[in-house]
Structure 1
Amino acid sequence: MVKAFKMAVAGAVVALAALSLAAPAQAGNGSAVGAGLAGFGIGAILGGALAPREVYVVPPPPPPPVYYGPVAYGPPPWTPGWYDYCARRYPGFNPQTGYFVGPDGAPYFCR
């Protein structure tokens, strides 16, 4: 409804401007300059009335995820402290291979 109203107003302005302009410009009295200024004004009014008012701006993309390095929970592998840690923590720990059997039956390296 607002757009229809704007179009009606713009049409009325154009019609009024067309009626108020003098007949073809006569050389020497500045009518051509006046007609040019009137045309510029009409164009500015129509351009302002027909220009879109709402502009959608796309938000910036989210920042990239932060990755952290692996976390070490126990002492370094193959040290005496590592053997003690793994033997105490995992009852199925095999000191020959460094693996233990997890609850799902799969072997895991002690870390």
Structure 2
Amino acid sequence: MNSLAKTLFLTATAAAITFSSIGAASANDWRYRGHNNNNDALVGGAVGLATGLIVGSAIANAPRYDEPRYIDPPYAYDDVPVYRAPPPRYYRPAPVRYYQPAPVRVGVEPWTPQWERYCSYRYRSFDPRSGTFIGNDGRSHFCVAN
């Protein structure tokens, strides 16, 4: 039973016991005093009702030892923001770009005097022994005369 039903049941029991004893005790007085009613029965009933309420609520709210009792902490964690993971993001894979080398144009044959003259005029950093020049990217490249 829940605690309200227990409280009501115990209150009604205490009130019934109180009223039955007051009624039996005051029956003789009422008959012999000539119906002089000083409201003793009502005061006794009120005292019994109050006693029943107090005892019933104490019994209904008594701790049960078969269940663990959890005590709330003295502070609340409502102020702490709740972390929520961001939704997953799906990335489209980057397209793979294949670069084809530039087609070789038939021009001046490498390692000939014309080729060496062309590359010397075209690139200031041309090295005739290796056939390379230093490009704007800082790397050495082989000279191709078109």
TM-score in terms of structure 2 length: 0.28
Larger Rg: 2
